[in-house]
Chain A
Amino acid sequence: MAAAASLAKARSIVTMKHVGLNVAADPLMTLSYLGVEGGLVACVADDPGMHSSQNEQDTRHYARLAKVPLFEPSDSQEARDLMLLAMEISEEYRTPAILRSTTRVSHSRSLVDLGERKPAGRRIGFVKNPPRYVPIPVWGRVMRRDVEERMGRLVRAAEASSANWMEWRDRSLGIVTSSIAYQYVREVWPDASVLKLGFSYPFPDSLFLEFASQVDSVLVVEELDPILEEHVRSLGIACRGGDVVPKVGELSPDQLLLARMRMEGRKPAMDAGQMALPPRPAVLCPGCPHRGIFYVLGQLDVVVTGDIGCYSLGAFKPLDRMDTILCMGAGISMAQGLEKAGDPRKVVGIVGDSTFFHSGITGLLDIAYNRGGSTILVLDNRTTAMTGHQENPGTGRTLMGDVSVPISIEAIGSACGIERVRTVDPYDLEAVSVAVREEVEAFAPSLIVARAPCPLKERRRLGAVRVVDEDACKGCRICIRLACPAIEWLGETARINPLLCMGCGLCQGICPAGAIAPQEVDS
């Protein structure tokens, strides 16, 4: 969409995570050939440290692969400044650009001086020009050569850019760095000279050479892959980098202090060691409609292929009911793959509503058309919960908040050719159990939509707060298997934290001793 908007001369920004760029890589690679009319910047957020992502890929590789300019802000102010620069470079050189953020740039806040907003004052309209916009070989080969020529001009732009600068202090050590690493470098090596790159690809070779010639030794500090380091070495510049700075996980002042000690041959003081504390992983919220689904699946001998969203938390103990996670949409397509491979067990694929719309439909079509037998469970909580309750095509509102047509998951299932489509209330464990068992046994593909809104979004209780009658509690711990954060184990009996309980009543339904009941409200 952004590509087409750009061809119509509109400026466009398209935002995604690192893994999102894998999905958008196909258009990006060829858009680089077509070039742009209005500026186009892909704002891509990497997640070093994998705080909430399934991998730690480094988006900088994509800039090189797609042959497009790359900008790397190191704080909020630069995020604003470099976005503007990226947009201008994109337009001037008629190329898409990438603005790469990392965890601590994305998740930090600092004061930003805003500029004046300038109206673009341009006429939007697509002008037909097949040799520019249709990369069939005869024209595509011309575009290909133009890309290389553009890269040459972009090198000179990067070398002259005010986003790249040298800070001269003590010249015994010069540090080449970009992104958030710059901020850490300034604290850990306050006396070192620095080559700071904000417009970091194509590589501004003359800057590396000039900088290296004026310092006694060079250190490259970058987060994730040794992209700058390898290039600096390729210019014949001896440097240190990945031998002292970690290449896995995110950097921090602490990590770099250790790196500095390693470089200087100093031994870090032995830490007294942290006392053993119980880990506190994230859990499904109290009242979450996904909880009962995993509880029921825990009673079945099936393989569960999972997907990306809050429901990934169903992989943790005690629910422990998600066997694979790969990428968005894989909950569905991997179910089909396991079945085709001949796995003797039945397979249940799980996907959320938002992920279903995003990348589940093609897989579902594949299952139906190729006569698969998998059972696909859509956990439809009427929102995109994990990332902060964004709208999706099922909610009936656009991301801009405008009213739209809610798209029916069931109707999509039917349209894909799935004949067994049913809807269940995820709080009705009996109904869920019956539906899943029947569909798993059926020799046909089926789609079960478990629908209930996310209570965290609705911000209201589902029912009365539940309490445990400690005299009646037999200590069987069955309620603990629900992985509800409101239910605490006191050693011999369970207790429900009334501040956390959302009143979904699942625990009351499964307690064999009948020890859980709604709290009586004082009149």
Chain B
Amino acid sequence: MSLEDVQSVVLVGVGGQGILLASEVLAQAAVLSGHRVKTNEVHGMAQRGGSVVAQIRWGQKVYSPLVASGTARVLGSLEQIEALRYAHYLAPNGLAVVSAQAIMPMTVSTGEAIYPKDVPGLLKRSFSRLIYLDAAQAALDLGEIRAANMVVLGAVSTGLDIAIEDWRDAIVASVKERFVEINLRAFEAGRSFS
């Protein structure tokens, strides 16, 4: 029995950015592609502007819903330093998709901590395969800032073997009907950043 064919993705960001919806779409796409899936995320406190991490794993047989360090195939981040916070999950040859958004934690505003300087440089040094994109701007260009999560997910999809039809069906299944169109367009926009 081999666990090598289990795929893991970690999606991170700040509470309120739509990580959980992105996680749901990814899980749904993996189901549609014919796999058993386990996802995990922590709600509650984490939702109130805190650091949020969602984990999605799929394959023929998945045991742990938690990803072991150094095994995620893709790390998707909606905030730039959150990608650094969870960098240890990524496999050595894994793909990091990082949105250029910088959201100041309260600890920075109060002066207890410092937001790192030259984050793009840190990202380049931390990740051998990096897609650094401005998902918020791309979503704004489409007229809906809240679709930034789908832009990131679109870029994440370029590092995974899930057919485009499954992604589209997953978005249709997971998103309210009136938001399907904008989310599909945001996802497509994300796919162009590879």
Contact = CB atoms under 8 A, between A and B. Distances in A.
Asked if A and B are interacting partners, one says yes
B64 A187 contact: yes
A499 B49 CA distance: 13
B112 interface: yes
A111 B31 contact: yes
Nearest to B55: A108
A275 B128 CA distance: 17
Nearest to A312: B45
A279 B49 CA distance: 12
A488 B104 contact: yes
A109 B23 CA distance: 11
A426 B160 CA distance: 49
A111 B41 contact: no
Contacts of B21: none
A483 B3 contact: no
Contacts of B3: 187, 190
A278 B110 contact: no
Size class of A's contact patch?
35 or more
A457 interface: no
Interface string A249-271: 00011100100000000000001
A252 B159 CA distance: 25
A111 B109 contact: no
A295 to B, nearest CB: 14
A285 B108 contact: no
- With most chain A CB atoms within 10 A of its CB, the pick from B62, B68, B122 is B68
Given A280-B107, A284-B48, A310-B48, A317 B116 contact: no
Interface string B33-65: 000111111111111111100000000001111
Given A104-B40, A107-B42, A485-B49, A274 B107 contact: no
B33 to A, nearest CB: 13
A283 B81 contact: no
A274 B88 contact: yes
B45 A108 contact: no
A278 B68 contact: no
Given A75-B38, A254-B69, A183 B105 contact: no
B145 interface: yes
B106 A483 contact: yes
A111 B32 CA distance: 12
Contact of B45 (A75, A111, A271, A282): A282
A386 B116 contact: no
Given A108-B65, A387-B44, 17 more contacts: A52-B43, A75-B38, A104-B66, A107-B43, A109-B38, A110-B38, A180-B65, A187-B68, A257-B68, A277-B84, A280-B49, A280-B51, A280-B107, A285-B16, A285-B49, A483-B110, A485-B49
Interface of B: 1, 3, 14-16, 27, 31, 36-51, 62-69, 81-82, 84-85, 87-88, 103-116, 122, 145
23 contacts: A51-B45, A107-B43, A108-B38, A108-B65, A109-B37, A109-B39, A110-B65, A180-B65, A187-B63, A252-B66, A253-B67, A271-B88, A275-B116, A277-B81, A278-B81, A278-B114, A280-B105, A280-B107, A282-B45, A282-B48, A317-B106, A489-B104, A489-B111
